Chains A and B, each alone.
Chain A
Amino acid sequence: MSVVDPSRQAGALYWPVQLRRNVGVRGLFAVVMAFLVAYGFLFPGLLTASGFAKFTQSWFPLALVAMAQAILMLTGGISLAIGAMVSLGAVIAATTMTGPLGVAGGAAAVTLTGVGIGAATGFIVVKLRLPAIVVTLAGSFIIGGAALLILPRPGGAIPEWLSDLLAGNTPAAFVLLVLIVLLWKLYLATPLGLSLYAAGENPVGAYRSGVPVDGARIAAYAISGLLCTGAGLFVAAQTGSGDPVIGTAFTLNSIAAAVLGGIGFLGGQGTMRGALAGSLLLSLMISVMFFLGFTPVAQYVAQGLIIIGAVAIPQFRKVQQ
């Protein structure tokens, strides 16, 4: 039966699987590269250490929320509470880190809040079988309100050394992002992580195959919540203080980035590398248009047209087949 030497086969599954996942995002990668080159021409400072640091810092929070949204969309869900979660993370960081809890305690509080609220949202959506869009819309009011209760107006503080470390002249943001991507790869190599795809695309089939569908989906919500409050902590470090509405724009931008990255609304379609590339593209688009002197209004219009175009092109290709 096994004529082929098993040890030779051994290495020959993981990497081919990974390579095949690139197939759908090749075009996107090319577009991102083109934008990077354009950006490099417009802003040669990108290639210096400080220019690179600033660029990755402006991209980092968007990358995190794009991942947070993509995980949920892979399970067939969606979140409208991303922005509120980012705000909550920011105000918790700004109110705790200079207090008695210290930086470590503050970071722990941010982490627990993210995981806890995420898991609770997931529990409501999955176990009570309520539509994710409604639950997270209601959640955005509750969470946003909680952020305003903690810090009614911008204030609080982040220790200066932490701000310098994360948002100063260091590549810390880039290193963190690499670390998060590696952790994601690790998660996807666990049975629970990989089950995400099956639970999103074919929940009935996955359930019948013995996959803990509910568990996989609730775990996804918890991870998503953690990424959001983490992004909030970073934003607070960037600005040096907390702002209870700073995250608002991230909700729709996270959806835009995920959609640009080829994540489908029906669940189980798309890859995290695509979502990350989508967030990078969105971030680059905003920067390039800024350097080209687009007015903010024109930027919004152009952004919207590009997103519709990005979603429509694969659809046209499918119709033609």
Chain B
Amino acid sequence: MARAPLLAAREVSKSFFGNPVLRDVSIALQPGRVHALLGENGAGKSTLINLLSGALRPDGGAIEVDGRPVSRMTPACAQQAGIAVVQQELSLTASLSIAENIGLGAYPRRFGLLDYPELAVRARAACDLVGLHEPLSMPVGHLSLGRRQMVEIAKALYRRPRVLILDEPTSSLSATETKVLTELLETLRGEGIAILYISHRLNEVMALCQHVTILKDGTCTADRSLEGTDAAGLVRLMVGRDPGDLFPHWQPSASAANAISVRNFSAGLMRDVDLDIRTGEVLGIGGLVGQGQEDLLLGLYGAMAARTASATVNGASGLPSGVPKANALGLAYVPADRKREGLHLIHSIITNMMLPAFARLPALKLRSRHAERETARGLAAQLGIKGDLDRPAQALSGGNQQKVALAKWMPHDPLVLLLNDPTRGVDVETKREIYMMLRNFAATGKAVVLLSSDTPELVHLCDRVAVVREGRIVAMLERGALSEEAIVSAAMGAEQRKVAA
């Protein structure tokens, strides 16, 4: 450790709209080491990467290259220092070819013009490293998501980096592509490149990385060698407590009556699904991301075209034909992307809370501001949303935003609550409150459908979990059979498979 790290952050802090996202976080990337960066969603990992790569500037602290602080880090400056980032959201341009995308921002030139022959040679070399054999002239828009991810990695390698930062590179890759990447990273590490690796797949991290930094709610909870740790220990550091403490005590409250019952239901990716949702239960929907779970909720909610052989929703036959109809039948939906779908960020908290009520009022009746304010105050007190309700919703932290997205449905007393990943990017304390609310909701005889990418949540909170794979429900796990292993192995389609965490 005598050598200066190639790239380091020293006690950096960053806030957005007054919400601190990172507080005094330090990280040092050493040559020839794969450094894992772990943390729950919303812990500040992406922000830290953006600081290291110059896409954002820290509010406090410093970024150091080769031990020297850089006062104004920009992406161009990072590139010169040999720092390459494989972003989670792709940085590609669909209408440009593979080669033009790979060279973007660092084209070889001859007489001021782009040197296509040179670009072809260097782009081909980078593509060969990641096993990308499509013609270089093919527009990136024609490639599948996994192949685009490989282009993104080739783009980073093209720059011959000394520091390579990968933000969840394997989330859209196939098993073969992941294997190619793993071997490649081993080779690069041998060549003395510093690698920062972000992943939610702990078994990958355990196999590939030597050192780990763990972020929790914007602070660093661990900076240590991976030797002598196990996956469970890492999870404890990420969550900050034993997972069990997070969840309310489970008591059966399900009845035999069905709130929703569908046969041969198809919508979007979902194909011919039979599903009964009982009143008084929390039904989990699990599986790998993007297998059609969201289409299931949207189809039930009437927000997406759906077909069924037969359907009963709260006593009415047939699926709701649209969102107003679904609301009238007692359904409410809380979307995953609260910034774009769930809330109107620049409008006040009170307006956001009242929005579903506006839809129910006669169109030309005068609003009663006084009554609205009373209702909003009541909701805020009930859900623990603190502060002035006239502030824009974007002033709230992620967790409190989610509470507003939930609160707006409460005055309508919905019979079925359809939740799409409600705890994504939400701090631990708010998570606890949301879990408590959901259990109470079920206890009062209502149905909660919880789509979640967080497996512990499914295990500890739900009465039953439907695991979705490739548009079908491949397993319906009852309370007694619920475990993380059972859910993950059903999701992956492997009956017996050892999974870390």
Contacts and interface: CB of A to CB of B under 8 A. Distances in A.
Contacts of B105: 195, 206, 209-211
A236 B104 CA distance: 41
A205 B117 contact: no
- Size bracket, chain A contacts: 35 or more
Given A20-B137, A210-B106, A198 B117 contact: no
Contacts, number: 112
A12 B128 contact: no
Given A6-B121, A194-B100, A268 B93 contact: yes
B98 to A, nearest CB: 10
B95 A209 contact: no
A9 B121 contact: yes
B113 A186 contact: yes
Contact of B93 (A16, A186, A198): A198
B63 to A, nearest CB: 15
Contact of A205 (B90, B120, B139): B90
Contacts of A10: 116-117, 120-121
Interface residues of B, number: 42
Interface in B104-163: 104-107, 109, 112-114, 116-117, 119-121, 124-125, 128-129, 135-139, 155
A206 B138 contact: no
Nearest to A4: B124
A189 B113 contact: yes
Given A20-B137, A198-B104, A206-B105, A13 B95 contact: no
A19 B135 CA distance: 13
Contacts of B128: 1-2
B76 interface: yes
A9 B117 contact: yes
A202 interface: yes
A206 B99 CA distance: 15
A191 interface: yes
A208 B138 contact: no
Contact of B112 (A190, A202, A209): A190
Given A10-B121, A210-B106, A17 B97 contact: yes
Contacts of B85: 208
A196 to B, nearest CB: 10
A201 B94 contact: yes
A206 B103 CA distance: 11
A269 interface: yes
B87 interface: yes
B79 interface: yes
A307 B361 CA distance: 41
A16 B137 contact: yes
A17 B99 CA distance: 9
A17 B95 CA distance: 10
A14 interface: yes
B114 A190 contact: yes
B113 A1 contact: no
Nearest to B91: A205
B123 to A, nearest CB: 8
B93 A201 contact: yes
A108 to B, nearest CB: 24
23 contacts: A1-B125, A6-B117, A9-B121, A13-B136, A13-B137, A17-B97, A17-B99, A17-B100, A186-B113, A191-B107, A194-B96, A194-B100, A205-B89, A205-B90, A205-B92, A206-B105, A208-B87, A208-B91, A209-B105, A209-B106, A210-B76, A210-B104, A210-B105
Given A9-B121, A13-B116, A201-B93, 5 more contacts: A17-B97, A17-B137, A205-B92, A207-B55, A209-B91
Nearest 3 pairs of A and B residues by beta carbon: A205-B91, A10-B117, A210-B105
